[in-house]
Structure formats: structure tokens, C-alpha cells
Amino acid sequence: MATSVVSGLNSLSCISSFRNNKNTNVLLGRRRVLVFNLRRRGFYVSNVASDQKHKTKDSSSDEGFTMDVFQPDSTSVLSSIKYHAEFTPSFSPEKFELPKAYYATAESVRDMLIMNWNTTYDFYEKMNVKQAYYLSMEFLQGRALLNAIGNLGLTGPYADALTKLGYSLEDVARQEPDAALGNGGLGRLASCFLDSMATLNYPAWGYGLRYRYGLFKQLITKDGQEEVAENWLEMGNPWEIVRNDISYPVKFYGKVIEGADRRKEWVGGEDITAVAYDAPIPGYKTKTTINLRLWSTKLGAETFDLRAFNDGNHAKAYEAQKKAEKICYILYPGDESLEGKTLRLKQQYTLCSASLQDIIARFEKRSGNAVNWDQFPEKVAVQMNDTHPTLCIPELLRILMDVKGLSWKQAWEITQRTVAYTNHTVLPEALEKWSFTLLRELLPRHVEIIAMIDEELLHTILAEYGTEDLDLLQEKLNQMRILDNVEIPSSVLELLIKSTENTVDVDKAEEQEEEEQQDEEGKDEETEAVKVETTKEEEETKVKKVKVEDPQAKIKRIFGPHPNRPQVVHMANLCVVSGHAVNGVAEIHSEIVKKEVFNEFYELWPEKFQNKTNGVTPRRWLSFCNPELSEIITKWTGSDAWLVNTEKLAELRKFADNEELQSEWRKAKRNNKMKIVSLIKETTGYVVSPDAMFDVQIKRIHEYKRQLLNIFGIVYRYKKMKEMSPEERKEKFVPRVCIFGGKAFATYVQAKRIVKFITDVAATVNHDSEIGDLLKVVFVPDYNVSVAEVLIPGSELSQHISTAGMEASGTSNMKFSMNGCLLIGTLDGANVEIREEVGEDNFFLFGAQAHEIAGLRKERAEGKFVPDPRFEEVKAFVRTGVFGPYNYEELMGSLEGNEGYGRADYFLVGKDFPDYIECQDQVDEAYRDQKKWTKMSILNTAGSSKFSSDRTIHQYARDIWRIEPVELP
């Protein structure tokens, strides 16, 4: 931009006339520009699903308002931005630099969102519609500005207005930090769902926590990954509104007492306050704007110990406040220590308690004076996104019984009809198990309630399987109980003992009958035969004298807790037992859930289990992050209807061989690759060639996601290159830029070793002048949504190479495919369905399949596995020190041996390695034929329609939440 323009803006010359305008009706002028006109109209709501009027019982007499929206142009947008720069400033008035431009722009957009936002919920309140509430520990929103103005259809006016102020919309948008409210796919999925809920006009909210420092900001140094706190809230957040009038008490510790009316009460302990922070979530080209409510924790000023502070004991003075505030400091605090485990539990309970109290308060408000609790499930649907919000089950029961006075039977029925559970993992360590002792100390009333649920489950199991086969019963209880290795409830114990006593009585009766029969037969025997039988009678007498085990002792021996095993609470089992629906997130994952993870529960309640394959929003993940390709899609499909009806993407198939389309497609991909080149230079200092294939693996660093397999393939490629002449290299290999991104949890040592290994390989390869642009390796630091929005549109090959059967779904695979990127992967998670949709010829498949994994691990344990020589070659090459002095023995050792913790190649890197590198040869061959490659790219986009989160949310709404779309008038 021109220097003169910048200097003029810095002195605010461009808005001085606005500030000094003699017109005293500045505020009124602003309202004329931005505020929706409200007028009294008949109140109605369109039901999108059935195209019928949705009426309350008294809707005929209701009156309300409808909105005539004044669609802003660049002039009115410019005035709004100027207004906020002047009257709602977060910066000094002397300058108008990029950060101030961003805040003024964001506040201008927020004005428009607030009107839709308030009207949406006024309407929902009045119509008393059923509403879904999505509880998640993560919401990985990314930047909000471009998404908001894109959904409002105002990208053009805002771009024009900012140009007049001397800035580009893109530069202003880059000033926004990513909201640090999540880590990976779980949080990004939740955010996609919110976008689809709003776009499809479903009445729904999201609930989460407002993490001050996020997970962490990732730095890449010579020592690998380092973590520092996120600073996303350092300059405030223009998108959030603190609701100081909406706060709820949250209690920990204390004790449970029983009143004269036999109602339980949880008293004493430690109390904090959860305060609501709201952020508007706009739908695409709809007035519907839903809410993401985040909780922050605090204590009042009265808890500050002024005397201790003045005495110099400053830490003691604010100890209680810090204890409350730290609950929302970071996402997933380390849980190696007891303090860390306690903090995680406090986080989960804070989310559940504050959200349930809020949901119930809204239900009561909408019900007026006649609250019918049996109607609660008809007005409320609670979705638990993984097991983190599990405590909302006992919390809902606690409120219904202890606060509202409902019976156990009524409260339990209401809860079961209200809550539903989404499973996101098959990894045993990720299916949360909490210490029974810790949970009982922290939440004593909730453990009592969980014990009641466990007791209900045990009675159901006894009714299903009976008590004749105690071994079978013991097996079922071990697999299905919520409270593992905890005393059997007395009511169940009595049934088991009684059943055992009955069995003993029957045995004795049969024995007596047999003896009497033998006596009768003995009378007919000869006298000398009596002598012969003497020895036998003595033996029988000895047998009869053997002490029969007391039934009560026997039952306690079989079913009682084992002193050497920990007592734990299985949160996933609690979810399955308590929810009316349990869903997996991809077809193969849902089958594993039914057949393996929760097979016993599936046999008991098959009607509960469903599949809801994940999806991503095509607005953010195609239209807004890849506008050039989006314009091409709109041109060739005839309209932009694909943005809300992705099935229209399939129309691209008939043009896949069209040379004009292919040329436009390649040009868009090239332009997006240039953005990646700039990002890599800015974040790592490396210079890469846009002529190379861009090969990307961006996801959380975890052994099962097998970044190690990827980097081993790169090392093998590099070693082969070094063994060749320059001419041979050029003939054999397609130039590649291999890009990694993702965070390793701070306490996950092996994952951090993998990050270190990748960066060491990059440092060696990228400085090898013999190799040059034939191979580059890049680890992009601090991977987040904004980084993904640059990398995904420009990627040509994306790696989704997890060990088969271990990835629940994945969503980045959907984003890549939607943007015309080819995938290399295993038959795992949503890869299976993507391959079916885009065509087998347009997906590079390798590796063992899910049903083979257990057998392969057994083969390894028996010492029968023989590693491929090429795999051994790579390990030996690494051990030469070619990639630096770091000792990689722990990393290499995890791939060796046949048994032991951290050994025996549990994730089958060595097994799949030969198939993987041979599949990579097929990738090179296909890439050399750019016409063929471009066709494959087009067909990937054309086949991605199934993977819109709109489709997923329609299915949740229809099959689980049973809510209807509601359009504002």
C-alpha cells in the first residue's frame, strides 16, 4: 500500500471529518445504517423439513416482529468502521494501524450479528421450540472475521470499505489471532457443526470453556517442540460478550446430608462461580444466528484476603481466587500428577454443571408457571461430544432429584430421554477412566448417583443373563460395570446369594434322593456284598464331610473387589448406559464400536447404536479459504447452490476431462501453492519450489497417526537419492515438498521425539545442495485453523496413514478431498467412505486392514514377523548419525522387539512400510501425467459432497435430537 496513505491513516486524517462533523446525530446515523427495522407482524415460523407452519398452542393470538434487513454497501460499512474506531476504541486515537482496523471492523460486523442473534433467541423463546445443546471441551473456531462477513454475504462491501481506508481485507483479517479453544479434529468438528446448525436454521447452542491460554503455542527450536502459553486474549476478543448477569455456582468437595424429607443435599466444600461469555455463530445467507456460550471461572472480591495481603502474605491473599481462575487457564492440563487429574475433573464438571443449570433455567423460563418436568426431553436434547461432558448425566439427575424434588425413577427416565453420546475413539487409553477415590472426594453426591445408575445396570444384566452361570455373569460385569472393582450393591448381592442358596438346596435335595435310592437297592444285596462296599462307603463319607462353601462368602469371593486392582469409574460405560443414542463417526468406526468397543452393550440395546459420519462445512473449508477454486466450481456447476447443497458438486464429473476446466483448475492450485511458499518462508525460513509436488500431513502428533511412517518413507527416499547420480535422481523421482504440521501433547514424550526427528531430517535434507529442490522437508510450527486454511487449498497429496481401525473418522481428509487434493491412506476412519465416493482409482491405498491387525500383533508377539530389508535399511541409516547427534534409540527401539511396553511396533509401521513406499512410487507415476492428475483432483472434489457437515447435522437432528429447522420470519 502507498506510504502516503498509511501515514495519513496513522494521523486519522481520513476520519477526522467524521469526528468533527457538525451533525450531532452520529449515533442515529449509525443506527440507520446498521440496525434492522422492526415492525409488528403476525408471528410464524417456517418448518423447512415439512414446509408447514410450526405453531404453539396459542400462536393464533401471538404477535411478534419481523426484520427488514438493510443490506449494507461499502459506504455504510465504511461509516460503521469509522464509528467504532472513534467511539468503541481499544487503541489510542492518534493512530489507525492494522490492529485497530481489525478491531473496528470486527465490532462493525458484530453489530449486525447481534441484531440477528437477539432476534433468533427472542423468537425461540416465544415459540418454545425444542432445542439441542452441544457440550464439548473443544471448539476450534479459527478466525471469525472472514467467516462472519462471508456468511453475511458482505465480503465485497467490507473489502471495498477497507480499501478506501488504505488496507486490504486479507491484511486486516490476519490481525485476528486464532481462538485457542481446541486442539484438533474434535474441536474443529464441533465448530463445523455450529456453522451447519445455524445455516440449516436448527435451534441449537454450543457450550464450552473459555481457556485463557489455550492448549499451548508451539515453538520449533533446535531441541524440537517447545510450548509457551497462547496469548489470544491478550488484546481482548471483539467477538465475545460477557454476560455478567448469567452466572452459576459450581461446588467441589463437601459432604452429602439427608433432610427430614429424605431429600439429599450437597453442602460445604469449595464454591466457585462460572460466568457466561457468548459468541454469535452466523448461518450462511440466513438470519439465524446461534450461540456459543463459554464459561469462565472466578470468585468474588470478598474472597480476597486483604489482611493477609497487607501482612505481606500475598500468595495467601489471592489463593482462593487463583484456585478458581486456573480451572479455565489451559485446555487439557497435564494429568500425570494428582493435582493435574483433579484440575481436569474440575474442568469437566464446571462445563457440565454450569451448562445444565443454564439449560434448566431456560426450560423453566420458557415453561412459565406450569413446569412439567416430563416435558423436559421434549424441549431439550443434550449431546455429549466424547466422554469429557459425561458428568452432565449425574449432574442432571442431582438437580432433578435434590433441587427440583423429583423421584429417582422420574429423574432417571427424563435423563435417559435427554442425553446422547458421540464416541470418538477406539483407543482404550482414550476411553476415560477416573479414580473412584478421587471422584468420590471431589464430587461425593455424583458418585452416589453414579452408584445408583450402576445398580440399575447390574439388575438389567442379571435379568438378561440370569445367575446360573456365574463365570459368564462375572465376565459380563467386568466388561460392562460403570464402577469397576467396587463393592456390589447390596440389592444385587442379595439376589446372587439367594440364587446360590437355592442352587445349594437343590443340590442337597438331589443328593438325599440319590442316597435313599441307593439304600433301597442295598436291601436286595447279599450280606457278603456289604463287606465289599465298606471301603466305598467310607470314601463317600469323607466326601460328604468336605465343607460346602457358604453362599455369601462364595459370591463375595467371585464378585467382590480385588485388593490389588484400582477402583475406577468408566465414563464411556456411563454414557452408553445413560444415553438414548450412541453414535460412531464413520461407518467402519461405528461397526468397531458395536462389535468390539461396546459389544456387550450393543447386544443388550442394539437400538441405541447409530452411525453419523463426520462432515466439514463447505463454507469455511472451500468457499472462504479457496475463493479462486470456488469461483471455478460455481462457473462450471452453473450457480453457487453447492454451498448449501453439496450434491451439486457431482456435476463436475461430466467436465473432468474438459481441457478448459483442467487449465483453470491447475492455475488455481498453482496460485494456492504460491501462498504456501510464502507461509513456509515466513514461518521456517526455508525456500521451496512451487514446481514440486506439495505432499502434506497435518494433524495432531500421535504414534497411531504414524507421522513416523511418513518420515521413514522420506528418509528412504533421501537415501536412495544419495546413492544415485543427478541424472538418475531426476529420472526416478518427482520433486516433492513434504510438509508436516501438528502439536504433540506436552507430556507425550514419544510424540515429541517424532517432532524432533522430523525437524532434524529437514535440517539435513534442506541444506543438501546435491538434492536441491528434488526434496524438501518442512515442519510448519504452531499448526492451527488459519495455517490449515493456507495449506489445504494448495496441497496436492495428503497423507492419512493411521493404523487401520484406530482412527475414528478424521475430518482433515474430507477438507483435502473437497479442495481437490489426492489422498494416500489406509482403510481407516472416513478414508473408507471417501474412497468409495471419489472412486478407487482416485485414492492411493496401502496397508493392512482393520480385521487383520489383531492377528498381525499376535504374529509379532510370537516372534514370527520378519521386517522388510528396506525398513531395516532406514533404521540403520538413522543410526549412523546422518541427521545429527541426537540419540534416537528410544524411537528406533519402539519399532523393535516382540513384546514389552513401548516396544514391538504396536502401530505396525514396519509391517506397512514396504507397501507404503511402493504406493508412493505409484503417486510419482501418476503425478508425472498432469492431465491425469488434474482429472483425479477434479473427481475428488466432485465426490466430496457426502462429507458436508450439513448432511451430518440433518442426521443428528432427525435421528437423535428430534428437532426441526426453524426459520425466522
Catalytically active residues are 424, 699-700, 705, 811, 815
Q: Identify any residues that bridge with 737 across adjacent strands, giving them in sequence order.
A: 694, 776
Q: Which residue has the cell 455478567?
A: 244
Whether 780 and 787 have beta carbons less than 8 Å apart is answered as yes
Q: What's the number of CA atoms in the CB half-sphere (13 Å) around residue 574?
A: 30
137 contact partners, CB below 8 Å, separation of at least 6: 186, 187, 208, 209, 331, 332, 347, 348, 351, 385, 386, 388, 389
Instruction: Mark 463-493 as b/e (b = at least 16 C-beta within 10 Å).
Output: eebebeebeebeebbeebbbbbbbebbeebb
583 contact partners, CB below 8 Å, separation of at least 6: 420, 421, 422, 423, 590, 609, 610, 611, 612, 960
Distances (CA, A) of 689 to 172, 681, 683, 819, 945: 28, 11, 16, 21, 32
Instruction: For residue 935, give the C-alpha cell.
Output: 482429472
Q: Identify any residues that bridge with 738 across adjacent strands, giving them in sequence order.
A: 695, 777
Whether 809 and 613 have beta carbons less than 8 Å apart is answered as yes
447 contact partners, CB below 8 Å, separation of at least 6: 436, 439, 440, 569
The C-alpha atoms of residue 814 and residue 836 are separated, in whole angstroms, by 13
- State the amino acid at position 412 in one-letter form: W
Q: Identify any residues that bridge with 293 across adjacent strands, giving them in sequence order.
A: 207, 278
666 phi/psi in degrees, rounded to 5 = -65, -35
Burial class (CB in 10 A: 0-12, 13-18, 19+), 206: buried
Q: Identify any residues that bridge with 382 across adjacent strands, giving them in sequence order.
A: 133, 419
The C-alpha atoms of residue 452 and residue 328 are separated, in whole angstroms, by 31
The C-alpha atoms of residue 589 and residue 830 are separated, in whole angstroms, by 8
Question: Which letter does DSSP use for residue 624 in this model?
Answer: I
The C-alpha atoms of residue 583 and residue 422 are separated, in whole angstroms, by 5
Q: What's the number of CA atoms in the CB half-sphere (13 Å) around residue 600?
A: 18
Whether 269 and 251 have beta carbons less than 8 Å apart is answered as yes
> Which helix (H) or strand (E) covers residue 397, if one does?
helix 392-398
Distances (CA, A) of 261 to 71, 308, 405, 527, 782: 60, 42, 10, 76, 56
What 3-state class would DSSP assign to 226? strand
- State the amino acid at position 453 in one-letter form: I
Whether 99 and 181 have beta carbons less than 8 Å apart is answered as no
Distances (CA, A) of 660 to 456, 635, 656: 66, 12, 10
Q: What's the number of CA atoms in the CB half-sphere (13 Å) around residue 899?
A: 6
DSSP per-residue codes, 269-334:
SEEEEEEEEEEEEEPTTSS-EEEEEEEEEE--GGGS-HHHHHTT-HHHHTHHHHHHHGGGTSSS--
The C-alpha atoms of residue 746 and residue 333 are separated, in whole angstroms, by 9
Q: Is the dihedral of CA 876, 882, 887, 892 positive or negative?
A: negative
624 contact partners, CB below 8 Å, separation of at least 6: 146, 147, 150, 789
The C-alpha atoms of residue 612 and residue 383 are separated, in whole angstroms, by 13
